[in-house]
Amino acid sequence: MLKDMEILKNSSVIDSNNSYDDIMTQRVQIIERAPLLNSNRTEPNVDQENLYEFYNLSRYYDLAFERDADRDIEFFSRCFKSYSNINIKQLLEPACGPGLFLEHAPKHGYNILGYDLNPSMIEFSKERLKKCNIPSYIADAVIGNMINEKFDKKFDAAFICINSLGYLRRDDDIKLHFKNMSNCLNDGGLYIIELSCKCDDIRNEKKIDDTWHVSKDGIELEVLWEINWYNLEHRIRHVDFKMKVNDNGDSFFIEESHDLRLWIYDEFKEFARSAGFEIIGIFNQNYEEVSIHEPITGELGALFFILKKIYNFKL
């Protein structure tokens, strides 16, 4: 948390009058792992200025997007048993952020490696695992890029949550990501992706929980994540993000614009298929199955897409 505060002291976001309308266009993330860590890999060259300022504030991100990870992992486990005929033990999490799932997955019997492009997130994740006395051969976090990261071993399953995949906006980058993930997974392995598709009516993007409040350990957050417009031609979903923070008396305000991929289901399905993945199940936020034969639009909310790597698929 002290490191987060130091970042703020050296940043314009400490002034609540500053606007962050022009902050970067893309946060590219990654994947990685080997025994847990490939000792031969080199760290990617990270341009820190091209990361959204919010993602440098790991502690506040962790609080703002806290969720019931155990409940999610129990759902993932049910999917593993229902949809894969291999014994799933080794997990990979692209865009792992502050490491919430890295902390909880070992309790359910999994080894897991997470990766993220942001060094602040990786540092926070490693410290989190250290505090939980989880050894690095069980769970670890590394810096990596989900477009083209290479590994010395394959994994049984992977997952990516809260539409983090949306920060890959270009078709070519998305195709490279799926190709890379296909190379990372064993045949029959699963890839679970949480994201929301384009609404037929953009007015349905408005949610009653666009603004939410978090209070913990003397930290008060008021967070706004609001989708205001689409650029259909360029497949962009524009998000306005605002966060007020009171950290035990120290107050500041962040305002950013995030442009994410505007997902259209048929296109998403083709991206996956091009790399040998088949969508075999779709579930809503209550873990209730959604028919793959009905129209899949944003009106259904954020969904979990269960992808299976096709056996002997040739890339």
- Mean pLDDT, contiguous 10-residue spans, the chain (315 residues): 37 34 29 36 41 88 97 98 97 97 98 96 98 98 91 94 97 97 96 98 84 96 94 96 96 95 98 97 98 95 97 75
Domain boundary among 261, 284, 299: 261
Shared-domain flag, residues 144 and 62:
yes
In a domain, 257, yes or no: yes
Q: Would you state the pLDDT for residue 251?
A: 97
Q: Would you state the pLDDT for residue 150?
A: 82
Shared-domain flag, residues 186 and 282:
yes
Shared-domain flag, residues 190 and 206:
no
Shared-domain flag, residues 113 and 245:
no
Buried b (16+ CB within 10 A) or exposed e, 249-281: eeebbbbbbbbbbbbbbebbbebbeebbbebeb
Q: How many domains does the chain have?
A: 2
Strand order across the beta sheet in which 250-261 lies: 211-216, 219-231, 236-247, 250-261
Q: Would you state the pLDDT for residue 51?
A: 54
Q: Would you state the pLDDT for residue 208?
A: 65
| CATH code (residue 242) | 2.20.130
Shared-domain flag, residues 93 and 241:
no
Are residues 46 and 115 in contact, defined by beta-carbon separation less than 8 angstroms? Answer: no
Angle between helices 265-274 and 171-184 (to 10 degrees): 50
| CATH code (residue 105) | 3.40.50.150
Paired tokens of 278: 């088949």
In a domain, 17, yes or no: no
Q: Would you state the pLDDT for residue 285?
A: 97
Name 111's Cβ contacts closer than 8 Å, sequence gap at least 6.
36, 89, 90, 91, 105, 137, 138, 139
- Judge if pTM exceeds 0.75: yes
Name 307's Cβ contacts closer than 8 Å, sequence gap at least 6.
190, 191, 192, 193, 272, 277, 278, 279, 280
Structural domain of residue 281, as residue ranges? 48-198+263-309
Shared-domain flag, residues 109 and 157:
yes
